[in-house]
Structure 1
Amino acid sequence: MSLVSCECDNRSVSGIEPSFWFEVISMLISNMLIHLIFLWAGSISMIRKAIASDCEQIADIYNHYILNTTVTFEVDPVTAEEIAERQNKALCFLAYEEDGYVLGYAYASNYHSRAAYRYTAEGSIYLKNGAEGRGVGTLLYEALFSAAKEHGIREMIGVIALPNKSSEALHQKLGYRKVGVMERCGFKFDQAIDLSFTTPIRNKPIRKKCLKFG
């Protein structure tokens, strides 16, 4: 069993509303419950750097979203070889493994090629169909924050194709807010699609530091 413990960034206690500490405690309790569920189920899980042998499973996960949803603007299935290329280009690429199977992955990529954007990345996360609602997305995204920070990233932007209630809820849970919507910028399955842009709220307890054991 792999355990993940998270801690908030150190902040001055002066002037902080009681609601801040309530959110911190709530997040810690939520994380503990997730791990208790995994322990009860007897699953062996870990978050780790994605490797070449994961590419086939990752391609299968992603192709479900390509072929059946509008959460990605890609329309043609990808191959394991294409996933391998994207792994090599990403700033960091993580996989969530449980009992030997990849149930989700997350990666951070440069938001823009121009130099002034060098400290800003875009985060992406995909879970295997049916693996939602178990806290895997939260753990993966938290680990991604930590990994991206090690690469010098200071800002992680979330770009969400609408509607996508689960992704919006995840970003909100992790202290993100919607800062704008680009309307009708995509077209898939005979429908126009809007894009939502989210950024971290300042002075919110985003759990960026994740320590993995086992």
Structure 2
Amino acid sequence: MTISLRPADVSDIAAITRIYADAVSTGTASYELAPPDEAEMAKRFSAITGQRYPYLVATAEDGAVLGYAYASAFRTRPAYRWLVEDSIYIAAEARGRGIGRLLLEALVKQSTDLGFRQMVAVIGGASLASIAVHRACGFRMVGTLNGTGFKLGQWLDTVFMQVTLGEGDSTDPDPARYPGTLFSG
């Protein structure tokens, strides 16, 4: 199966909503308890892409969306503007095929090219598959918060992983390279 990556667009919202709804309903990656509808997912998509953060989809040869990933603000205070958080969701029928890794590698590259200096993964439910994908892409463990969520009848831990992008904290950032409009100054 040939997998292609491309920027997500509004025509992908239905597929993105379906993939995320499954993750919310059956998994622990998201701590949401009720899946948002298409209107809410479109609003979230617009907020992320409106700030010019990268948002990607992985598609099959027939164009079916198999997964998606995006980078977004970790926190909105201005000093955090060089740090992004990644999010990756894969359709149930496409898991275990390396799609998450392809998406994450592309997301890391695009975020680096945009001038971001660090990327953090906030891994709900301490998912072993997500930890493995992040580790394969150079992320390192930076902490675990125990018992931070209660979902599907169980207490869940949250794992934090981090990877340095570009020059990281070895040089001062260049504000002219930051593409977003969320932060100024």
Q: TM-score range by the shorter chain?
A: 0.7 to 0.9
Q: CA deviation at 1:201?
A: 6.7
Aligned to 1:129: 92
Which of 159, 165, 173 is matched with 2:122 structurally?
159
Greater Cα offset, 183-192 or 54-63: 183-192
1:54 match: 12
**When the two structures are aligned, how many residues end up with a matched partner?**
161
Task: Give the C-alpha shift of residue 77 in structure 1.
Answer: 1.3
Give the equivalent residue in structure 2 for 1:188.
151
Q: Distance in 2 between matches of 1:121 and 1:133?
A: 25
Could you tell me which amino acid in structure 2 is paired with residue 184 of structure 1? G
Q: Residues 71, 52 of structure 1: CA spacing in aligned structure 2 closer, same or farther, 3 A cutoff?
A: same
Deviations 1:61-113 (A, max 9, x none): 01001111111100111112222111122222111111210000000010101
Identity %: 37
- CA, structure 1 residues 163+76, in 2 after alignment: closer, same or farther (shift >3 Å)? same
Match of 1:74 in 2: 32
TM-score normalised per structure 1: 0.71
Q: Runs (4+) of structure 1 moved beyond 6 Å?
A: none
1:16-165 aligned at under 5 Å gives the runs 38=1, 43=2, 45-90=3-48, 91-98=53-60, 99-165=62-128
Normalising by the residue count of structure 2, what TM-score does the alignment of the two structures yield? 0.81
Q: CA RMSD in A?
A: 1.7
Contact residue 146 and residue 156 of structure 2 kept, 8 A: yes
Letter in 2 for 1:165: L
Larger RCO: 1 or 2 (CA < 8 Å, sep 6+): 1
Distance in 1, matches of 2:165 and 2:75, equals 22
Q: Which runs of 5+ in 2 are unaligned?
A: 167-185
Structure 1: distance between partners of 2:112 and 2:47: 17
Deviation string 1:28-81 (CA, Å, 9 cap, x unpaired) is xxxxxxxxxx4xxxx4x4211111111001100010011111111001111122
Distance 1:93 1:202 in 2: 17
SS at match of 1:88: helix
The one-letter amino acid of 1:178's match is: M
Which of the pair has more CA radius of gyration?
1
Relative distance call for 1:183 and 1:129 in structure 2 (3 A) is same
**Unaligned stretches of 5+ residues in structure 1:** 1-37, 204-214
